[in-house]
Amino acid sequence: MLKDKSIVDFLAATASSEPVPGGGSIAALSGSLAAALGEMVGRLTTGKEKYLEVEKEMLGLMEDFRAHQTAFVDFIDEDAASFDGVMQAFKMPKATEEEKKARSEAIQLGMKTAATVPMAVATRCLEMMSPIEAIVTRGNANAVTDGAVAAMMCRTAGLSALLNVRINLSAIKDDDFVRTMTLDCNALESRLIQQEQEILKKVRL
């Protein structure tokens, strides 16, 4: 599994001529890095007398970040699997009309899955912006830049995932599905950018 590779091996796999891991998996990895940074800031805040007022909040945020990190890491392989599903569908036989129909349906189903996974990544990125804002504004001031980087990575992960949604939507023939997902993409993109900007404005150096 991709998520079990060392950093060096994962980078080598990404740099290879193989299509996976690709942009979708990298988006998920970026989200997991943002979550890890968020948890780190929480850990650097807890157990310190200066931050006793936010101790309980930080402990809760650390749990949130751990849950997000686990989900993002799982998305690394889910994205790769969804792409593989599309590739397998394209390899299906198409000698008869019946085979052509089955192949086309499998491709469309695979494309929908390949769009749904990065959409889930982007959605979780938006959900994580709130706890990131909390650690930036109320966490250890000495680690505020780590929180800022978490916000930037989270934004990048979300927008990267949305690019993968959009490219898959271009091949989907279900107009209602495409319309709904496109509206969701637009809303998520706008909110991710806005929330990152709001968080960065609160960074005091």
| pLDDT, mean of residues 165-183 | 97
At residue 163 the predicted structure's pLDDT band, cuts being 50, 70 and 90, is: very high
Contact 128, 162 (CB under 8 A): no
For residues 161 and 121, the answer to whether their CB atoms sit within 8 Å is yes
Domains of the chain: 2-201 (1.20.120.680)
CA 119, chain centre distance (Å):
8
Of the pLDDT bands very low, low, confident and very high (cuts 50, 70, 90), residue 9 is: very high
Contact between 143 and 53 under an 8 Å Cβ cutoff? The reply is: no
| Other C-beta atoms lying within 10 Å of the C-beta of residue 47 | 10
Phi, psi of 91 (to 5 degrees): -85, -5
d(CA 166, CA 106): 19
Tell me how crowded residue 91 is: count the other CB atoms within 10 A of its CB.
9
Q: What is the mean pLDDT of the chain?
A: 96
In this predicted structure, what is the pLDDT of residue 183? 98
Distance CA 82, CA 19 (A): 12
pLDDT score of 99:
94
Tell me, what's the pLDDT at 143?
97
The neighbour count for residue 117, using CB atoms within 10 Å, is: 24
- At 89, the pLDDT band (50, 70, 90 cuts) reads very high
Residue 205, pLDDT > 90, answer no
